Amino acid sequence: MTTAVSEARTQPAPPRQHRKRTRRRRVTPWLMLAPATLILLVMTGYPLVKMAINSFQKYGKAQIFGAPPEWIGLKNYTDTLTDPTFWAVAGRSFALMAVLVVATMGLGILIALLMMRVNAFFRLLISIGLLLAWAMPPVSSVVVWGWIVDTKYGLLNWVLNTVTGTTNWSGHSWLIDPLSFYAVLTVIITWMSVPFVAFTVYAGLTQVPDEVLEAAQLDGAGAVKRFGFIVLPYLRSILLITAVLQMIWDLRVFTQVYTLQGLGGISSQTDVFGTYIFHLGSSNLGAAGAVSFIMVAMMLVISIYYVRKTVKDEEI
């Protein structure tokens, strides 16, 4: 009796039941993803479609009084791509992005390595300091740094006067000149972005096997060689996705630039993509939509290497 029951259980399921089970396994993941997909379509899809429609239309004074916008095809795109102002903004945006990514990734990796070397107490202090910088709202951080570089009562000018023993820095403006404006902006954004990189890299460093590092040290490999030939291969995927995310975030930065411009910067000389689209949208919504789509295309080009590498790794 027992043998007959066990043989019945081991017999393969009928073809129809097997097909139903296979179909259920295929449909279940899509059903689980459906709520999140629906939310993304509502929250992201509609604004994206609306922006695409606006980019093919012309908005003027007539639209203020309720007149429908005029369809002009690709004119907004051609006007944008032939506008020297757009390319000046693009140059500033990419230059700022490059400086920010190098500074943020470099400092973040160094801080992560430092956290691996210090004891638990100092590691806790460093973590608290990073969390405080990370948790501060962007507007609040810009206002605080604005006080530091203030023309009349700024701490930076006072320190420079004290160190040099002169009054040459009294009344010096750090935001009027575009170069010093971007220097202040770089400090602010780097200060706020380093914690993410430091925590991410530190989490990756904790996964590097200690026995491999010890074996390399016994073989005579120095700290630089151990980091280059052992640690970096383990961190390659983490560093890649972190760098791509930093490039995208730094390319579309808005809050810090806009707030700092309000404290004394000249918008026409310091605009990046985010503030340029904002200022352009107040007078020409169609052109702002075209610039937004061009910016999205640029960010897709930046991230395409990561996407291709991720797909290849999944196939392997």
Residue-wise pLDDT tens digits, 127-177:
999 999 888 889 988 999 989 998 888 899 999 999 988 888 888 889 999
Q: Which two tokens stand for residue 138?
A: 């962007």
Percent of the chain with pLDDT over 90: 31
Sign of CA dihedral 97, 100, 103, 109: negative
pLDDT band at residue 125 using 50, 70 and 90 as cut-offs = very high
Question: What does the alpha-carbon distance between residue 267 and residue 215 come to, in Å, rounded to a whole number?
Answer: 56
Question: What does the alpha-carbon distance between residue 275 and residue 255 come to, in Å, rounded to a whole number?
Answer: 8
Q: What are the tens digits of pLDDT across the range 195-237?
A: 999 999 999 888 888 787 778 777 777 777 788 778 888 888 8
Which string of b and e fits 86-121 if b means at least 16 CB within 10 Å? beebbebbbebbebbbebbbebbbebbbebeeeeee
Query: Which pairs from 163-166 meet CB under 8 Å and 24+ separation?
Result: none
- Residue 4 makes CB contacts below 8 A (sequence gap 6+) with none
Tell me which of 103 and 60 has the higher pLDDT: 103
Above 90 in pLDDT, residue 191?
A: yes
DSSP letters for 12-73: PPPHHHHHHHHHHHHHHHHHHHHHHHHHHIIIIIHHHHHHHHHTTEE--HHHHTTPPPEE-T
From 121-125, 189-193, 254-258, 312-316, the region with the lowest mean pLDDT: 312-316
**Entry pTM:** 0.81
Tell me which of 41 and 91 has the higher pLDDT: 91
Sign of CA dihedral 148, 127, 137, 282: positive
pLDDT for 48 equals: 82
Of 246, 229, 275, 287, residue with least CA distance to 69: 287
CA distance readout (Å), 31 to 3, 17, 20, 42, 88 = 40, 21, 16, 17, 47
Question: What does the alpha-carbon distance between residue 222 and residue 218 come to, in Å, rounded to a whole number?
Answer: 10
pLDDT band at residue 1 using 50, 70 and 90 as cut-offs = very low
User: CB count, 10 Å around CB of 226?
Assistant: 18
pLDDT for 5 equals: 45
Please tell me the total number of residues recorded for the chain in this structure.
316
Find the mean pLDDT for residues 258-266: 89
Place of tokens 């404006």: 181
Average pLDDT value for the chain: 84
Of 249, 46, 241, 263, residue with least CA distance to 145: 263
Q: Which two tokens stand for residue 14?
A: 């009928």
Q: What are the tens digits of pLDDT across the range 2-33?
A: 454 444 445 554 566 656 666 667 777 788 88
Q: Report whether 115 contacts 183 (CB < 8 A).
A: no
